[in-house]
């Protein structure tokens, strides 16, 4: 994927945004705390990217201490005392405007890139980690990613088996192609910046005097390495198939005689389907749904109760298998909430459950 951006507009917007934010937060105070930063703007992503940078600086400070050659930082007493000290330090964030403003500017720029080009952003994030620590890095930083998290969340834990960097980079690009239609639109994400300063996406993507930004692509290897699990996912060819229409539901007769979903029949049906979006990976359902899906499922399947949907997704995540998830749906929701199991909304919901457990 290639995105062309006007780098001048990006930097000018981020600088103006940072100045306006600091004018607001420092109007009545000299310092800001960690809690102040979390609620600093209406854009959670901007706020958490500032916290993420502070976390990185906190880690650098710890490494500086440990690099001192005159003291034994491996000693258990020293280690425990140092841990206690660093934890206490992390709870005492105190930042003046001079130091906060550049952090906000950088966070805004990163947020915008993440919104319009998540592949480039997450591939760059992977590039920051050591080869053997990529999964740990993503897991540790996951809480700071508020936009387009499904693009990378499927890699966490499920991919922590020693795959090399190129496999991770390819997996991110491949997964994005699978799920991009379900992601929240860039316009909606960037609209959250408008509380501070209106954002003009057309100006950002203006081709005149713009700079081309290309997603990092893995370098060609002189020797063809053994294919990884991620490459196999990326290279799967999907046969041509017409998407189902309203008059042809994807799941035909998904019921047992007792009126419950039949896991075996649903799975068998889905295994034959190769339409766009079926063959992909999903991490935790509770964190992978786009906003429009949450609204639809909440309204159509869970009586408009967003908390009930959240509970159901968390329970499915803990089910352990597709069959277990279907049993859970049958026992708690299908009959209780009068689901029309051959409806398109149930069909879409079950596709997500299938993609989580059976690939």
Alpha-carbon span 289 to 298, nearest angstrom: 11
Give yes or no: residues 71 and 139 share one domain: yes
Within a domain: 247: no
Residue 206 belongs to some domain of the structure: yes
Residue 253 lies in a domain: no
Based on the domain organization, do 281 and 188 belong to the same domain? Answer: no
* Model pLDDT, residue 101: 95
Share of the chain above pLDDT 70, in %: 75
Residue 98 pLDDT grade (very low, low, confident, very high; cuts 50, 70, 90): very high
Instruction: Let me know whether 117 and 192 are in one domain.
Output: yes
pLDDT at 138 over 70: yes
Could you give the number of structural domains in the chain?
2
Mean of pLDDT values over 135-156: 88
CB 179 within 8 A of CB 277: yes
Q: What is the dihedral of CA 16, 22, 23, 25, to 10 degrees?
A: 150
Asked if residue 245 is part of any domain, the answer here is no
Distance of CA 212 to the CA centre of its chain: 24
Q: Are residues 191 and 294 in the same domain?
A: no
One domain for residues 46 and 184: yes
H runs (alpha helix) in 26-164: 34-38, 44-66, 76-90, 97-116, 118-127, 134-141, 150-153
In the numeric block, the tokens 């130091």 are attached to 99
Is 180 in the same domain as 273? Answer: no
- Per residue in 156-191, pLDDT (tens digit) is 766 444 567 888 888 899 889 888 888 888 888 998
Buried b (16+ CB within 10 A) or exposed e, 289-313: bbeebeebbbebbbeeeeebbeebb
DSSP 257: T
Q: Are residues 292 and 199 in the same domain?
A: no
Check pLDDT > 70 for residue 12.
Answer: yes
Residue 211: per-residue pLDDT = 42
Residue 33, domain member (yes or no): yes
Say whether both 71 and 136 belong to one domain. yes
Domain-located, residue 244: no
Domain-located, residue 100: yes
Claim to verify: residue 41 and residue 180 sit in the same structural domain = yes
Whether 23 is covered by a domain: the verdict is yes
For residue 11, which of 215, 216, 146, 211 has the smallest C-alpha distance? 211
Q: Which residues contact 319 (CB under 8 A, 6 or more apart)?
A: 325, 327, 328, 357
Q: What is the pTM of this model?
A: 0.56
Which residue range forms the structural domain that includes residue 210? 2-214
């Amino acid at each position: 994927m290639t995105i062309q951006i006007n780098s001048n507009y990006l930097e000018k917007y981020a600088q103006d945004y940072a100045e306006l934010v600091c004018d607001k937060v420092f109007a009545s105070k000299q310092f800001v705390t960690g809690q102040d930063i979390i609620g600093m703007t209406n854009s959670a992503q901007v706020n958490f990217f500032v916290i993420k940078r502070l976390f990185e600086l906190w880690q650098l400070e710890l490494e500086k201490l440990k690099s001192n050659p005159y003291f034994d930082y491996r000693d258990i007493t020293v280690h425990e005392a140092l841990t206690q000290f660093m934890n206490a330090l992390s709870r005492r964030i105190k930042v003046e405007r001079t130091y906060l403003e550049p952090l906000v500017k950088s966070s805004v720029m990163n947020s915008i890139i993440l919104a319009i080009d998540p592949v480039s952003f997450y591939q760059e994030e992977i590039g920051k980690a050591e080869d053997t620590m990529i999964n740990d890095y993503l897991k540790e930083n996951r809480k700071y990613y508020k936009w387009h998290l499904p693009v990378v969340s499927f890699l966490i834990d499920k991919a922590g088996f020693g795959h090399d960097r190129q496999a991770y980079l390819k997996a991110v690009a491949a997964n994005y192609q699978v799920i991009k239609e379900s992601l929240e639109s860039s316009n909606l994400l960037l609209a959250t910046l408008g509380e501070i300063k209106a954002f003009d996406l057309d100006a950002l993507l203006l081709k005149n005097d713009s700079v081309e930004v290309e997603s990092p692509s893995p370098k060609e290897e002189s020797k063809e390495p053994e294919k990884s699990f991620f490459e196999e996912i990326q290279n799967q060819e999907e046969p041509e198939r017409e998407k189902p229409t309203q008059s042809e539901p994807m799941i035909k007769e998904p019921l047992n005689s007792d009126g419950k979903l039949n896991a075996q029949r649903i799975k068998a049906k889905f295994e034959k389907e190769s339409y766009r979006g079926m063959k992909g990976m999903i991490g935790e359902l509770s964190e992978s749904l786009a906003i429009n899906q949450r609204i639809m499922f909440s309204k159509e399947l869970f009586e408009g109760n967003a908390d009930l949907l959240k509970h159901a997704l968390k329970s499915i995540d803990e089910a352990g298998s597709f069959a277990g998830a279907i049993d859970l749906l049958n026992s708690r929701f299908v009959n209780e909430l009068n689901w029309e199991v051959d409806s398109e909304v149930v069909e879409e919901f079950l596709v997500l459950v299938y993609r989580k457990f059976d690939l």
